């Protein structure tokens, strides 16, 4: 959970119980999992109350994946999202902006070839 999400939930929380580090974030009155349809009803009511347009609950997960692949290695995003196969995580890769891809590739090639080029020149001069 990001710091921003944790702060927002902390500020909005009216809970007096089930506030420990290992407790669930969204709970029913007994501190257990909320039934799916009840969670969705609360989610859509919150969207409406905030004046936001309709999005699917799953869109939150997709937004996370899209942002996460821009910041973390794919193997980390795979673990964060609970994917069994890296191919599933690769769905989000097309969202990564590649504005500096040529510059990064040029730098990597320069770094990789510099010692080889230097030794080739030295060998040729010898």
Which sequence spans correspond to the domains of the chain?
A: 1-54, 58-95, 99-126
When pLDDT is averaged across residues 81-86 and rounded to a whole number, the result is 95
Tell me the helix, strand and coil percentages in the chain, rounded to 5.
65, 0, 35
Question: Is residue 15 within 8 Å of residue 23, measured between CB atoms?
Answer: no
* pLDDT at 78 > cutoff 80: yes
Q: How many helices (H) and strands (E) does the chain have?
A: 6, 0
Evaluate if residue 18 carries a pLDDT over 70: yes
64 within 8 A of 79, measured Cβ to Cβ: no
pLDDT level of residue 77 (50, 70, 90 thresholds): very high
For 56, list phi and psi in degrees, rounded to 5: -80, 150
Q: Model confidence over 109-122: pLDDT tens digits?
A: 677 665 554 555 55
Which pTM value belongs to this model? 0.60
């Amino acid at each position: 959970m990001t710091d921003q999400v944790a702060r927002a939930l902390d500020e909005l929380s009216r809970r007096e119980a089930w506030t420990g580090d290992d407790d669930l974030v969204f709970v029913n009155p007994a501190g257990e999992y909320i039934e799916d349809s009840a969670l969705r009803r609360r989610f859509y009511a919150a969207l409406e109350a905030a004046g936001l347009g309709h999005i699917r609950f799953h869109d939150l997960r997709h937004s996370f994946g899209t942002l996460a692949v821009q910041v973390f290695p794919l193997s980390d995003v795979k673990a964060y999202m609970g994917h069994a196969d890296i191919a599933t995580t690769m769905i989000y890769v097309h969202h990564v902006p590649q504005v500096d891809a040529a510059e990064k590739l040029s730098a990597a090639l320069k770094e990789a070839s510099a010692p080889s080029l230097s030794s080739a020149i030295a060998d040729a001069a010898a």
